[in-house]
Structure 1
Amino acid sequence: MEKNHEPNYKRIFTDILMRKHPDKLKVCSPILRKKALTALDILELNRLIFDFENTDINQKHRSFNETTILQILDHQKKYNLNNSQLASHFRLSRNTVTK
């Protein structure tokens, strides 16, 4: 049986920070200290490290697992957001949030 392996995001982001963006290491270190990174953590690291001017290109191929979807919906409940506000916060389409 073949085991599905995830990329080691901690190592990837740490290497990027050490080599190209050492000035942002302090800001990102609380997220990198977590035992396991969620999809939302990875998106937050991307946002903190890279200043994306054109986010449309980066949004096309995103997918979320069930845990991440539940975290997004919990965020909506916690802050009493409607679907449009939630979509704007996570840079999703309103149709994606509705689904």
Structure 2
Amino acid sequence: MDVIRLNTIITGSANGENIRYNQKLKSYDKRTILRILDYQKKHRLNNTQLAAHFSLSRNSVTKWKKLFP
């Protein structure tokens, strides 16, 4: 969660090109991944909605769900 907040502070409301560039630089620890997946369960979101909410890739969410069932 800190990574997401820090990225928002640094980039502000970024345009599409800046977002694509910054996506490559993001990394998440196990605790953050589990919190994001818990958020998905709590708010009944599908992978696409969760990815849009946190500016993630749908493939990342799917991979995390396989790694942390």
Structure of larger gyration radius: 1
Instruction: Give the Cα separation in 2 of the matches to 1:45 and 1:67.
Output: 16
Correspondence 1:91 to 2:55: yes
**CA contact under 8 A between 2:51 and 2:61: conserved in structure 1?**
yes
Correspondence for 2:7: 46
Instruction: Give the Cα separation in 2 of the matches to 1:64 and 1:48.
Output: 17
Structure 1's unaligned 5+ residue stretches are 1-39
User: Which gives a bigger RCO, structure 1 or 2 (Cα 8 Å, sep 6+)?
Assistant: 2
TM-score between both structures, scaled by the size of structure 1: 0.54
Structure 2's unaligned 5+ residue stretches are 64-69
More helix as a share of residues: 2
Instruction: Give the Cα separation in 2 of the matches to 1:82 and 1:51.
Output: 24
Percent pairwise identity: 55
Instruction: Give the Cα separation in 2 of the matches to 1:44 and 1:69.
Output: 14
